[in-house]
DNA sequence: GTCTATAAGGAGATAGAC
DNA sequence: GTCTATCTCCTTATAGAC
């Protein structure tokens, strides 16, 4: 392992800590477990970080910055918006069911931060990141489908994040794939009903939106 | 405090533990903190429970059995289903924002159970209880509004629980009341669109369903 | 039966040898 | 600079006095 720069060592510790948290939970991520995972002596931890909480704080900031991917890759044109939203949800769900410990760790870190005074601003940032990521995907998806959102993008993004959070939590609790599929079907219906076809003409004779029927969402009261 | 039966002592400890968990989090609920809250000597804890995990297990089972209330009370007739659903969501949200630590504790306990082998079945029971409670409210609400659900009740209940979980988590993270209100508006629209007026006639000239327009939810694929 | 006093171990953090 | 060895505190759990 030899000589590492201070920054490298901090990053190595953060990555090791993330692996430990995914495997054992936040509770099991003791300084000893982390340095064992990173194959370092215990003292290196406090050489790199002043305290365990400082490390956790940097770790959450790190994952909040670097975990905004997943669903983006699967976007492709030629589909109506309902199909695109459903496919995006499925892509997310596939990453979830392939590696549940990742999302489980994100939840645990959120709750840990909520209970720690100095970290109490981080959950807000975490959710802001979720919404931004969702907004990016929704924006790109609408463009590819030739549609526009009837609500502000950030509102649609928040609703999508609400679905995804609820879906993830329920699936982590009961591991019911069929139930998750039903939830995703409903979410795709509800979210895509907030879009309208942007370009021209009748929307139903192109065969691209067979399942979207009219729904006038009530104006938000707030 | 004097002499308590074994069952009374267990219950006193569980209630004290719940208070500590709401105040300090699951992590802070040490045996010492709990017996201090219950005003008992430390040894009483292990006189009543074999281990801390056994107590936590009983505690989760207890809250899963006894936390199925909240929204039911506010049900009243004379409203259309959309209004009823929205009011139910608001009633839930009011209890959430009055005492956030209660729902925060429920989440923490869920994640604790997910990480503890002997407790890994409890999250499933916890969600089953959520869905049953939601189903009861939805069933009663539909009856009062003179409507029926076009999907199986348990499916609608699961979707409502998805909304509530996502809503709760987001609000705990960012405390954005206005955003929560928008989410509830959308949830009320989407859920109530799954109902249809049961009894007779035109549904729009009574003035009871001014905001519900048709939405044919796609048949579930699963 | 009940509680004081203590055992046994794990945690974060650091002094001081190299 | 780096790491071994240790300090101090706090945890769960229990032995044994009353």
Question: Are A49 and A136 within one domain?
Answer: no
**Nearest nucleotide (C1') to alpha carbon of A31:** C12
B43 CA from C7 C1′ (Å): 14
pTM for the structure as a whole: 0.88
Which pLDDT belongs to residue A199?
Answer: 67
Q: Are A168 and B208 contacting, i.e. CB atoms less than 8 angstroms apart?
A: no
Q: Mean pLDDT across the stretch B48-72?
A: 83
Question: Are B107 and B163 within one domain?
Answer: yes
DSSP line for B159-175: HHHHHHHHHHHHHHHH-
Question: Are A144 and A172 within one domain?
Answer: yes
In a domain, B83, yes or no: yes
Q: Does the beta carbon of A172 lie under 8 angstroms from any beta carbon of chain B?
A: yes
- The CA distance from A87 to A82, in Å, is 9
The first and second tokens of residue B145, run together, are: 């509004």
In a domain, B139, yes or no: yes
Q: Are A23 and A99 contacting, i.e. CB atoms less than 8 angstroms apart?
A: no
How far away is chain B from the Cα of A5, in angstroms, using its nearest Cα?
Answer: 34
Domain-terminating residue out of A43, A59, A75? A59
Which pLDDT belongs to residue B5?
Answer: 75
Q: Which burial class, exposed, middle or buried, applies to A200 when counting CB atoms under 10 A from its CB (0-12, 13-18, 19+)?
A: exposed
Bigger pLDDT: B128 or A208? B128
B110/A173 Cβ within 8 A: yes
B42 CA from C8 C1′ (Å): 17
Residues in chain B: 222
In a domain, A86, yes or no: yes
- Give the confidence band of A75 by pLDDT, cuts at 50, 70, 90: confident
In a domain, A163, yes or no: yes
Residue A112 has pLDDT above 70, yes or no: yes
Would you say the C-beta of B43 is within 7 Å of strand C?
yes
In a domain, A216, yes or no: no
- The CA distance from A95 to A164, in Å, is 12
Residue A35 has pLDDT above 90, yes or no: yes
Q: Are B31 and B117 contacting, i.e. CB atoms less than 8 angstroms apart?
A: no
Which pLDDT belongs to residue A133?
Answer: 92
Residue A209 has pLDDT above 90, yes or no: no
CATH of the domain at A51: 1.10.10.60
Question: Are A52 and A89 within one domain?
Answer: no
Q: Mean pLDDT across the stretch B69-96?
A: 84
Bigger pLDDT: A102 or A64? A102
In a domain, B114, yes or no: yes
Selected residue of A80, A81, A154, A169 to mutate for chain B interface (largest B Cβ count, 10 A): A169
Q: Are A138 and A157 contacting, i.e. CB atoms less than 8 angstroms apart?
A: yes
Question: Are A118 and A76 within one domain?
Answer: yes
Question: Are A86 and A193 within one domain?
Answer: yes
Q: Which burial class, exposed, middle or buried, applies to A6 when counting CB atoms under 10 A from its CB (0-12, 13-18, 19+)?
A: exposed
Tell me the sheet residues that pair with B195. Answer: B149
Find and list the nucleotides of strand D having atoms within 7 Å of a protein beta carbon.
Answer: 1-6, 10-16
The first and second tokens of residue A187, run together, are: 């979410």
Residue B213 has pLDDT above 80, yes or no: no
- The CA distance from A112 to A122, in Å, is 10
Q: Are A138 and A150 contacting, i.e. CB atoms less than 8 angstroms apart?
A: no
For residue B106, what is the enclosing H or E element?
A: helix B100-115
How far away is chain A from the Cα of B39, in angstroms, using its nearest Cα?
Answer: 25
Residue B125 has pLDDT above 50, yes or no: yes
In a domain, A161, yes or no: yes
Question: Are B113 and B34 within one domain?
Answer: no
Question: Are A192 and A123 within one domain?
Answer: yes
A181/B222 Cβ within 8 A: yes
**Nearest nucleotide (C1') to alpha carbon of B46:** D13
| Residues of chain B neighbouring A124 (CB-CB closer than 8 A) | 173-174
A221/B185 Cβ within 8 A: yes
Give the tens place of pLDDT for each residue, A144-188.
Answer: 999 999 999 999 999 999 999 999 999 999 999 999 999 999 999
Q: Count Cα atoms within 13 angstroms, Cβ side, for B11.
A: 6
Question: Are A151 and A108 within one domain?
Answer: yes
Domain that holds residue A116: 67-197
Q: What is the tally of structural domains in chain A? A: 2
Of the candidates A145, A157, A156, the one whose C-alpha atom is nearest the C-alpha of residue A194 is A156
């Amino acid at each position: 392992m030899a000589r590492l720069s201070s920054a490298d060592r901090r990053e190595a510790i953060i990555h090791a800590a993330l692996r430990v948290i995914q495997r054992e939970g936040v509770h099991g991520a003791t300084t000893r477990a982390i340095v064992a995972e990173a194959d370092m002596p215990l003292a290196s931890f406090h050489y790199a970080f002043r305290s365990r909480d400082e490390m956790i704080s940097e770790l959450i900031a790190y994952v909040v910055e670097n975990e905004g991917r997943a669903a983006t890759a699967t976007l492709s044109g030629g589909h109506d918006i309902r199909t695109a939203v459903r496919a995006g949800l499925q892509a997310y769900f596939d990453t979830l069911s392939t590696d549940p410990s990742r999302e489980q760790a994100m939840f645990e870190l959120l709750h840990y931060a909520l209970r720690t005074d100095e970290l109490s601003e981080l959950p807000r940032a975490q959710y802001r990141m979720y919404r931004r990521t969702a907004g990016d995907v929704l924006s790109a998806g609408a463009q590819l489908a030739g549609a526009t959102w009837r609500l502000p993008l950030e509102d649609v993004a928040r609703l999508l994040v609400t679905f995804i959070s609820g879906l993830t939590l329920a699936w982590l609790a009961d591991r019911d794939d069929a139930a998750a599929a039903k939830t995703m079907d409903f979410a795709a219906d509800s979210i895509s009903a907030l879009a309208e076809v942007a370009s021209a003409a009748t929307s139903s004779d192109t065969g691209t939106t067979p399942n979207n029927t009219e729904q006038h969402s009530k104006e938000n009261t707030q």
